[in-house]
Structure 1
């Protein structure tokens, strides 16, 4: 089977269980796929991307309320929000595979790895929610990640710059702060959640590194100076700047340079 066409098929799925399971199956059987990098693909007529379930209810970012993680309900809301980010991240990786033609074969395999690991993260978090007496879809969520995916659909350089290097990299900064709160609370479910976030943080460093690698590869191909072009893309697409404190160790491990970190800190 051809990888990019299969990624589009799985992206169209609406059931979270099917989508995450089939994404993991793609990742496990990566060696069995051919890759047609030249194919110009399109979604089936009448299909809106990504395929998504009826729940959770999607609200604007400003409409999603916050609750203290000091309560079990608040921790469930927090874990649901992270699960929704991971579900969106599956979609983002699958979208990168099918949408962008004429890239080297390793580009598609890198994003298959990301998709597979995001599916694993989603399933870990969903199982945790179920252990807490909830499930994915029980609380409202927002579509911030996918909105940027849509905005950058016609520009692969912007996609690499502003999804993995910007939006997903924010998770590297936020996760240790969330873990600190959960470990301070000390309840068994809070400690279990912090342990899941250890797995996610380690693998998300690799995902951001993939974004950094292909962003720089594209800048070299197209004759852009990476930092200058990143600043311009941030302005044009109105991408958010990271909120301090930055997790500089994780960002360096993901391939950010000292010059880039200096720019991000100002």
Structure 2
């Protein structure tokens, strides 16, 4: 059955999620034509259009967030959860399973989808949602005036005046085209202004990814520059984790702002953690003298870019609610975990990605529900984006710890549990989001009945 998805002029992004009347979800890809001289029914104006099922047939991963590569003159997309690859036109995979794909034609200036239905059945277009990969950058100084004053209940209009309002430090400093990956990474780590940090991180991911597909990939610069002991921060009120004010349960505007502010602080440190792992362990070699492949740097840079997007979403939402990032105290416990594991890549991945990030998968649904009960649909939308991305981040940690263990002939579960015993204070306690953890590759063997003898960093 032919379904008109709309005029060509409506499609300006790389990917869209198509919702059909039956509840079925598809992904529509708009990609540069590999051979513009060879016109095909699914091509127009230098672009090719493809459609496939929105859930990976392996474990249901979001194909809207897949990475795109060209292999043998064809586009191949890889699921963000477990890196299963699929030819976007045929659905064929190198791992033996197949995804459902659906023909797309460009007819009379419109994008037309051919979707199969049973005899007598019908299906129609519900809606089409663009998949946004944009970070909400800004260059103006935050104001102490509410962006949307109508959102505040009358009883909450009087807010304490913050002790510090961030200043606009002007444009971010960009490195030249000769800069290596590690040059950029150290520059980002040493950038104190959060707006500059997310802007530079997003830029680095864009140019590094673009050059990976070119004949002149960016040099890595392994071991040329050391990572800073601790990335600087603009003047903020810093307290110990145990001294943080209680955020409440999300029933009031003040409570929800506090919750989003705490999450934004975590996301800002998460940017540095993903960048730091690339610099600090750039010269890492396995016990079999295997160095880290370029894919390692790309994967963690993608994590950093996601974290920059997350911070921007939360910072924007906080300002829409009448506050700004920096108005409340913060703590640096995540970086304490980075220092605790600075000596070994296996430890770093185990504690940061497979303990802290995995714990986020456990608590995110409960946090989202608090905002949903409060009727804060805008915050729910941002938090759902963050939760889905965080599954892929735990997947990244699981993938690279497994890669190291494969090279060294060790068991990743045992390596993980040994590092938890040594570098994490206390046991890993539930409740666990078993579904999300399994999607990320972590079955129960990783986190059930973990040892509690560690003297390292405690959970926060």
1:78 aligns with 2:259: yes
- Distance (whole Å) between structure 2 residues aligned to residue 239 and residue 209 of structure 1: 23
Paired position in structure 1 for 2:313: 124
Structure 1 residues 85 and 36: CA distance shift in structure 2, 3 A: same
Paired position in structure 2 for 1:150: 339
Structure 2 counterpart SS, 1:112: helix
**Is the 8 Å Cα contact of residues 80 and 139 (structure 1) preserved in structure 2?**
yes
1:62 aligns with 2:210: no
1:217 aligns with 2:395: no
**Is the 8 Å Cα contact of residues 87 and 119 (structure 1) preserved in structure 2?**
yes
Post-superposition offset of 1:261? 4.7
Structure 1 residues 240 and 122: CA distance shift in structure 2, 3 A: farther
Paired position in structure 1 for 2:202: 24
**Unaligned runs of at least 5 residues, structure 1:** none
RMSD: 1.9
Post-superposition offset of 1:235? 1.4
Post-superposition offset of 1:37? 6.1
* Match among 269, 279, 295 for residue 98 of structure 1: 279
- Alignment map for 1:1-266 (pairs within 5 Å): 1-30=179-208, 31-32=210-211, 34-36=218-220, 38-43=222-227, 48-55=229-236, 57-68=237-248, 69-100=250-281, 101=283, 102-186=291-375, 190-239=376-425, 241-263=427-449
Q: Deviations over 1:98-120 (max 9, x none)?
A: 11124111000001100101000
Q: Deviations over 1:8-31 (max 9, x none)?
A: 111100000000111011112223
Structure 1 residues 39 and 178: CA distance shift in structure 2, 3 A: same
- Distance (whole Å) between structure 2 residues aligned to residue 106 and residue 229 of structure 1: 22
Post-superposition offset of 1:242? 3.5
Structure 2 counterpart SS, 1:96: helix
Given the two structures, how large is their TM-score scaled by the length of structure 1? Answer: 0.91
Structure 1 residues 41 and 162: CA distance shift in structure 2, 3 A: same
Of residues 256-265 and 96-105 in structure 1, the stretch that sits farther from structure 2 once superposed is: 256-265
The one of the two structures with greater contact order (alpha-carbon pairs below 8 A, sep at least 6) is 1
- Distance (whole Å) between structure 2 residues aligned to residue 133 and residue 51 of structure 1: 26
Post-superposition offset of 1:40? 4.4
The count of corresponding residues between Structure 1 and Structure 2 is: 259
- Distance (whole Å) between structure 2 residues aligned to residue 28 and residue 80 of structure 1: 27
- Distance (whole Å) between structure 2 residues aligned to residue 263 and residue 224 of structure 1: 21
**Is the 8 Å Cα contact of residues 161 and 233 (structure 1) preserved in structure 2?**
yes
- Distance (whole Å) between structure 1 residues aligned to residue 234 and residue 344 of structure 2: 27
- Distance (whole Å) between structure 2 residues aligned to residue 237 and residue 263 of structure 1: 16
- Distance (whole Å) between structure 1 residues aligned to residue 447 and residue 418 of structure 2: 16
